[in-house]
Amino acid sequence: MFKLTKRSVEALEIKEKDYFVWDTEIAGFGVRVFASGRKSYLVQYRAGGRSRRRSIGQHGVLTAEEARQEARKLLGEVAKGGNPAEERQRMLRAPTVSSLCDRFLEEYAAHHCKPSTRKGYEIVVRTCIKPNLGSRKIVDVTRAEVVEFHHGLRDRPYMANRAVSILSKMFNLAEDWGLRTDGTNPARRIRKFREEEKKRYLSDEEQARLGKALAEALETGQESPYAVSAIYLLMLTGCRLGEILTLQWDFVTAHHLELPDSKTGRRRIPLPREVYDVIMSLPRREGNPYVILGETEDGHLVNLQKPWLRIRKAAGLEDVRMHDLRHTYASVAVMSGIDPFLLKEIMGHKNLQTTLRYAHFADEAVQRAAGSVASRLAGALKASPSGKPTLRVVGV
């Protein structure tokens, strides 16, 4: 035994079998000399009634003095009741973010989220989270890493914000599942990027063009009556695409569409005569419960996107998405004077704030009305002999 230094360690001879040499200054600090010629620093200590060893690093990569400093640190942890060797093994066995993603989708999303929400989660996990953070240990991920991850997606602000929100939910669950210390979620309070809200509303003239394109598609047989009717229903009800495509005959009453489940839970949707007539014009298929029939005997229409692309092209509305039909319904409702609280129920919004995004249309309607009144009064005032209104201020 002697003090381990660069010179003394390099002077150790290579033998047929591995052997240890211990430092005289720090008890438990030593070097292992392998038959291959490699030399590795380590500490040996007792914990839980057993002798334990914890590797520090290879000689040459670490100097003897650097290894000595690390040995002091590790043996200090032992003195406080720690077990560095066991902690290292635990870290090596620790699950990765990739495995957390899988568990999140299988145990949480599959049981607590709508199918469309689950699908969205799966896309973000597959395309963003796993490629960037999947190999990292759950316990090792830092806030700085999440900030860097978020910043790396700055050219796609919507995706960046969704990915961080999903990460935050996953790390909250990791704490609940005992995979990370409570209160250490590294994705909390990440400042989100500003998102440009994509809203497109059809003007009266554009609505007429869409109606003409739908009528022609139906008349020529270019599109099935179910596809055309689905688009009509989207426009006339303001419903979400999934609510129309999965609509069943059992949900249709004389005055309402009674949806047992939707994005925001159970919904009762008003059924005006125009909507009722569209629905009742559709042929039924025996044994098939759906209103908007698909190609299979017992299923509903799955892909409305292709018919929509053709119809919107014919109408000259190639920048309009199907969801913009819902926006158009809401905008027309607001301009028609529908109370926001009533519109919230019609649209199936979870909170009033979502409905109030359309409030500017009410402002425009008020502005036009005020302009009309002012114009009429101004015309009356011009009836004075000079042709201009004459104002007399009392007391001046």
CA angle (289 as vertex; 283, 291 as ends), nearest 5: 45
Same domain, 244 and 310: yes
CATH number of the CATH domain containing 232: 1.10.443.10
Considering the chain, what percentage of its residues have pLDDT values greater than 70? 89
* Tally of domains within the chain: 3
pLDDT of residue 376: 76
Q: 16 lies in a domain? A: yes
**Residue 37 in this model has a pLDDT that exceeds 70:** yes
From residue 159, give the alpha-carbon distance in Å to each of 2, 87, 155, 199: 60, 36, 9, 17
Q: Round the CA-based radius of gyration of the chain to a whole number and report it.
A: 35
From residue 25, give the alpha-carbon distance in Å to each of 29, 78, 82, 188: 8, 17, 22, 46
Using pLDDT thresholds of 50, 70 and 90, give the confidence band for residue 391: very low
pLDDT of residue 85: 64
Same domain, 212 and 138: no
Same domain, 134 and 237: no
pLDDT of residue 393: 43
Same domain, 126 and 82: no
Asked which of 156, 176, 196 is the last residue of a domain, the reply is: 176
Same domain, 38 and 158: no
Using pLDDT thresholds of 50, 70 and 90, give the confidence band for residue 200: confident
Considering the chain, what percentage of its residues have pLDDT values greater than 90? 53
Asked which of 66, 93, 120 is the last residue of a domain, the reply is: 93
pLDDT of residue 340: 78
Same domain, 12 and 128: no
Question: Could you report the per-residue pLDDT of 63-82, keeping only the tens digit for each?
Answer: 999 999 999 998 888 887 87
What is the average pLDDT value for the chain, to the nearest integer? 86
Q: Give the position of tokens 């000595």.
A: 68
Same domain, 214 and 301: yes
**Residue 212 in this model has a pLDDT that exceeds 90:** yes
Domain that holds residue 159: 97-176
Same domain, 259 and 344: yes
**Residue 384 in this model has a pLDDT that exceeds 60:** no
Q: 163 lies in a domain? A: yes
pLDDT of residue 93: 60
pLDDT of residue 395: 46
227-236, 263-272, 274-283, 373-382: least confidently modelled range: 373-382
DSSP 292: S
Q: Give the position of tokens 């409305």.
A: 304
| Residue 115: closest CA among 312, 380, 382, 302 | 302
Same domain, 339 and 261: yes
Same domain, 10 and 141: no
Q: 172 lies in a domain? A: yes
Q: 373 lies in a domain? A: no
Q: 377 lies in a domain? A: no
Q: 243 lies in a domain? A: yes
Same domain, 171 and 61: no
Question: Could you report the per-residue pLDDT of 308-366, keeping only the tens digit for each?
Answer: 999 999 999 999 999 889 888 888 888 877 877 887 777 777 777 777 677 666 566 66
pLDDT of residue 224: 93
Same domain, 334 and 270: yes
